[in-house]
Structure 1
Amino acid sequence: MTTYSVTYRRDPGDDAWLVEIDGMDDVHTFGRNLDEAATNAREAIAVTADVPESAVELEERIDVADVDVAELSRLRDQALEAHEIYLARQRAAALRLTEAGVSRRDAARLLGVSHQRVQQLVAG
């Protein structure tokens, strides 16, 4: 699998996405929507590089109104990872509290969740 960087830009005169492929300045394609543009980019890269389309992975950037989609994607991934850590620690705290004899209602108050959530956490 080879990764190719592509940038999508809106065509100001048309309702289409223009695709620029890094390192392939003479290859041009477009799509009416992002899915079509990505499909066309994979096809154009495969033909130009003489590789199967299934071996083409795209690193996509969008050049629209200074929206950094890659940064948003990284932030989303970081948030999901932090949330998973939070859930694991929340469960561990609920278990420790209830094993120490703290009622589920009191554990809920300490953890800032409902007693039903504490029940879910200690149940597994």
Structure 2
Amino acid sequence: MAAYTARVERGEQFWLVTIPEIQRTTQASTLREVEPMARDLIAVMQQVDPQSFELKPDIVFPSVAYEHWTRAAKLREESARAQAEAAKEARTAALALANLGLTVRDIGAMLGVSHQRAAQLIAGAAPDTALGAQATPARATT
């Protein structure tokens, strides 16, 4: 099966669709129209059925937005890592309090969560994460 690439770039008013293998260009009003327009162009120029070949779109992200989009993706990744670390620390704190003999109701009250959530945090903590918990009290600030 033949394969073609549809290089898609935003023009002033339309999406410009270039098929390098046949050195031809067409346009589309929306990204949704790109594939049918590219297939029609290739079918007419190569005299083949529009569904008889593979079409690989290569959409060029407009440069004015690309930097912002990649920064947003990086921030989402950092946020996910921070959220995972925060969850781990919450589980460790709950387990440390449980190791001090506090009830799940007291643990929930101290951590600002329900007693059911406190029990979940304790159950989800790795058994060795709070082994070093000391009985020295620390003041909680609220």
| TM-score of Structure 1 vs Structure 2, range by shorter chain | 0.5 to 0.7
Match in the other structure for 2:63: 63
The Cα of 1:85 is off from its aligned counterpart by: 0.4
1:40 is the counterpart of 2:94: no
Could you list the per-position Cα deviations for residues 17-51 of structure 1 after superposition, in whole angstroms to 9, with x for gaps in the alignment?
779xxxxxxxx898825xx6xx4228xxxxxxxxx
Q: What's the counterpart of residue 107 of structure 1? A: 107
Q: RMSD between aligned alpha carbons?
A: 3.5
Question: TM-score, normalized by length of structure 1?
Answer: 0.54
- Runs of 5+ in structure 2 lacking a partner? 1-7, 19-24, 36-55, 125-142
The residue number in structure 2 matching 1:83 is 83
The one-letter amino acid of 2:87's match is L
Structure 1 outlier segments of 4+, above 2 Å: 8-12, 16-19, 28-31, 60-67
The unaligned stretches of length 5 or more in structure 1 are 1-7, 20-27, 43-59
- Equivalent residue, structure 2, for 1:13: 13
SS in 2 for 1:68: helix
TM-score w.r.t. structure 2 length? 0.48
Percent of matched pairs sharing the same residue: 31
Q: Flag the structure with larger Rg.
A: 2
In the TM superposition, residue 115 of structure 1 has moved relative to its aligned partner by 1.4
